Amino acid sequence: MSFAVPPNAGAAPRRFALPAPGWRLELLLFACAYVVYNLSRWLFAGDLGQAREHAHWIAGLERGAGLAWEGSVQRALDSGAASWLLSNVYLAAQFVVVPGALIWLYRRSAPLYRGLRNTMIATWLLAVPVFAGFPVAPPRLAGVGIADTVSEHAGVALTGRSTIFYNQLAAVPSLHVGFAAAVGVALALALRRRWAKALALLWAPLVALAVVATGNHFEFDIAAGLAVTGAGFLAGQIPGRIA
């Protein structure tokens, strides 16, 4: 996955910010996309029994491939400090890092901001039919021996079936990891120092570890999230090509 980079990206630091009045339109665009996405998740909340069946199917698929590592990962990181850290990484990934990265890129580089924005919005739209047609319970709700560490170690309890913030039965695809990968690539392209670029690219693996260790996603969900985000990136290029 890549994003368009300004021709003089290697030159002296410059800012490629969008015009100041444009932030209101950008905010409205994201607000509308988020409302549509969450309304769709609410409408297609899914049936818990069916979602658990799909989760068991995924667990069986992973066992057959020798990739059912979720329980081992959670047990290996079952310490107070590690569970607390990864639980808060899980919460911060969508509600702090994504908006923070978008705001920073908006001020830093208009091309990279547009690339990330278009990728995210297209990915949201592509994810709707996936979890509508294939609802999946997260491992912590699937009855496969995986605990809910976020509710135990973080300040937010992941209870209830569907809220304005999440749909418990929309584990596939993992947009946590998909968006983390998109954010990491965009930030790595915008940052100048090698160590900063490396840290940006490590963000997606850290989030992937967090969603598994906290019992929120199977590895299958992660692969699906990366695939849908990749498709979202390609779809996000269409407006620019038409223009």
Give the pLDDT confidence of 113-138 residue by residue, as tens digits. 999 999 999 998 899 889 888 999 99
Q: Which two tokens stand for residue 119?
A: 């990728």
In order of 8, 24, 161, 218, the CA distances from 4 in angstroms are 12, 23, 39, 32
Residue ranges of domains in the chain, CATH in brackets? 45-155+164-242 (1.20.144)
Residue 1 — very low, low, confident or very high, per pLDDT cuts 50/70/90? low
**Is residue 95 pLDDT above 60, yes or no?**
yes
**Is residue 71 pLDDT above 90, yes or no?**
yes
Give the pLDDT confidence of 148-181 residue by residue, as tens digits. 888 776 666 565 544 455 567 889 999 999 999 9
Residues in the chain: 243
CA distance 221 to 229: 12
Q: Which two tokens stand for residue 16?
A: 């490629």
CA distance 33 to 23: 15
Give the pLDDT confidence of 15-54 residue by residue, as tens digits. 555 555 577 787 787 777 777 766 766 666 667 888 999 9
CA distance 229 to 233: 6
CA distance 200 to 184: 5
Contacts for 48-52 with beta carbons within 8 Å, 24 or more apart?
48/137, 48/141, 48/161, 48/169, 50/135, 51/135, 51/136, 51/137, 51/141, 51/169, 51/171, 52/137, 52/141, 52/142, 52/143
